[in-house]
Chains A and B, each alone.
Chain A
């Protein structure tokens, strides 16, 4: 990667709070035109990492360059090319949609004509055009997040940092949201977003799995799946908790997690284990509808990666 195309370059960022190491030697590179997903459960350190990259939180150690600006020594210069959308809604609820857009456009010195042009295009894409005069506080959750994105994009940022932007957003708004994000990539924008939703992570070009402040793996979603050594076996059952308890220590089973309608097992060899496990469950009179191998989702990868000694991954 040539330095010119690397929009975000973080190396060994460390942030420690009094009772937790929130971010532990985090290194990330995001190229211009790329969407990078920081994936992890609550408390993984996503917000802390994004705050440091946005220049609003000082790292204890390590460094990061955003569009060529050092976020420690030159944070204010970096802020001119960053758009940051915090996890908590950061716009003014007592200002209307238009007033919020105007505020952020003025703060970034966007000319009137450009503001009007960009805002109308973005509002249109976000399906917010008819809500221009509505107070931001009176918008639904999904509309608020889309307005946040519109405000973030009303100037021409080179780096966009989004902290769980689609959390609590309805599916339709979420689709609008992703369409706007993809449309930006042509402008050479680099997007770093965090999410706790693994299905959403699959829409990113590359992702990093963050756990207890550390990046466990970082790659494209499909590469990650390739590196997955074991197999995922889905058991559909009316009493998943009993199945989970029963199979947790079975031979060849590396991990068991509850999913919507049953459990997912990480096993070393699906061909061999499926008949075995089926026999076990039948003899124990455990009710189940089916047991079959499925394509691993990132969620499965995450579970495999975070289960104890990383037994399920080959690196």
Chain B
């Protein structure tokens, strides 16, 4: 690899990116747009879920629990019905998404300290909303539990120690139940996948389409120099966008960052290498900007969106799909990003994910260099 040739390619590529309005827009607007869209509008924070209740006891305690539901911004108790069948009808008709049944021995059981079963029926046609609803219901009940426990302890003259903590894993690291916290680290992965693969998918194809490839091939430049030279600018752009998204997440949406920056940066670099070389490889193979960009979108954006655990939790997917997700690099980075952000997971515990990314990066880089020949066919 010769420095002067590498520098020439990098410089040329930077000039071209600078003059290409489309790339610039994508580089700056896409991270902002996605962050804001997911942070606000398309947020998975489902609020004011309509709730029907069938309070079989009608005691002060049961009303108290329902008040907790009503007070939560996530639920909106629409109506209290007098029979189980009315509840089912409401669910079926779509008047509510959640139906709650409070047993007739609710206060009795509370008093004796035995376990109380509150039944929640969910309309699971929208799997995501259903999931979120369970989480929220559990959280509401949790809060209620604490209050009851606290009162119970106080009544029995014991010191107010922290009541036993919930076992709800879903919201464990996301105490405010705000999926924004979950989404931001995920959006970073998606932005990186798109910037990385979409933009690079155009680079080689553009040379073919504009007729500049033939002359470039007639120079002593090596395939490795072309690849590295073309990817370096996008690598920098990718890091910039990663930082931009992380910044917006942390300072605008107040998503906590509990991990180590070095771990986050290191894994970002690995993931960028994966998506950049994937985009480049696609570009080399397709030789057409349209085909390359579409392939890149299908190969990275969609999987990063649908199969990485960003929207649908992987452990709830059918087994076959779960198997497929193992071949989606974004899946690993999604896990790393979320873990580092929300849990502060140390690098040692992310070994498998990092190894997977490293493997993808190595294979794809190799493929990309091998695929490019300085010959017309």
Contacts and interface: CB of A to CB of B under 8 A. Distances in A.
B343 interface: no
Contacts of B11: 102-103, 106
A75 B5 CA distance: 18
A275 interface: no
A93 interface: yes
Contacts of A77: 220
A76 B11 CA distance: 23
A84 B218 contact: yes
Given A80-B220, A106-B4, A88 B375 contact: no
Interface stretch (A23-31, A55-63, A213-221): A55-63
A142 B70 CA distance: 77
B215 A85 contact: yes
Report which residue of A82, A84, A102, A107 has the largest number of chain B beta carbons within 10 angstroms of its beta carbon: A107
A89 B374 CA distance: 18
A88 B214 contact: yes
B16 A95 contact: yes
Q: Which of A58, A77, A84, A106 has the most CB of B within 10 A?
A: A106
Contacts of B374: 55-56, 75-76
Interface string B308-347: 0000000000000000000000000000000000000000
B16 A94 contact: yes
B375 A57 contact: yes
A56 B221 CA distance: 12
Contacts of B375: 56-58
A228 interface: no
A92 B19 CA distance: 12
A107 B219 contact: yes
A141 interface: no
A307 B195 CA distance: 59
A6 B87 CA distance: 96
A79 interface: yes
Given A107-B8, A109-B4, A109-B5, A79 B220 contact: yes
Interface string B217-232: 1111110000000000
Contact of B212 (A83, A91, A107, A109): A91
A92 B212 contact: yes
B211 interface: yes
A80 to B, nearest CB: 5
Nearest to B8: A106
Interface string B197-221: 0000000000000111011111111
A99 B12 contact: yes
B218 A54 contact: yes
Query: Chain A, interface size: which category?
Result: 20 to 34
A80 B4 CA distance: 14
A86 interface: yes
A93 B15 CA distance: 12
Contacts of A57: 375-376
Contact of B8 (A54, A90, A103): A103
Contacts of B19: 94
B215 A90 contact: yes
A106 B217 contact: no
Interface in B1-45: 2, 4-5, 7-9, 11-12, 15-16, 19-20
A197 interface: no
Interface string B337-377: 00000000000000000000000000000000000001110
Contacts of B216: 90
A109 B218 CA distance: 15
A108 interface: yes
Contact of A89 (B20, B211, B376): B211
A92 B16 contact: yes
Nearest to A137: B210
Interface string A176-213: 00000000000000000000000000000000000000
A58 B375 CA distance: 7
Contacts of A51: 214, 376
B206 to A, nearest CB: 10
Given A58-B375, A86-B211, A79 B12 contact: no
Contacts of B9: 107
A110 to B, nearest CB: 9
Interface of A: 51, 54-58, 75-77, 79-80, 82-86, 88-95, 99, 102-104, 106-109
18 contacts: A56-B217, A56-B218, A56-B375, A75-B374, A77-B220, A79-B220, A86-B211, A89-B211, A90-B211, A90-B214, A90-B215, A91-B212, A94-B15, A95-B15, A103-B12, A106-B11, A107-B8, A108-B219
Interface of B: 2, 4-5, 7-9, 11-12, 15-16, 19-20, 210-212, 214-222, 374-376
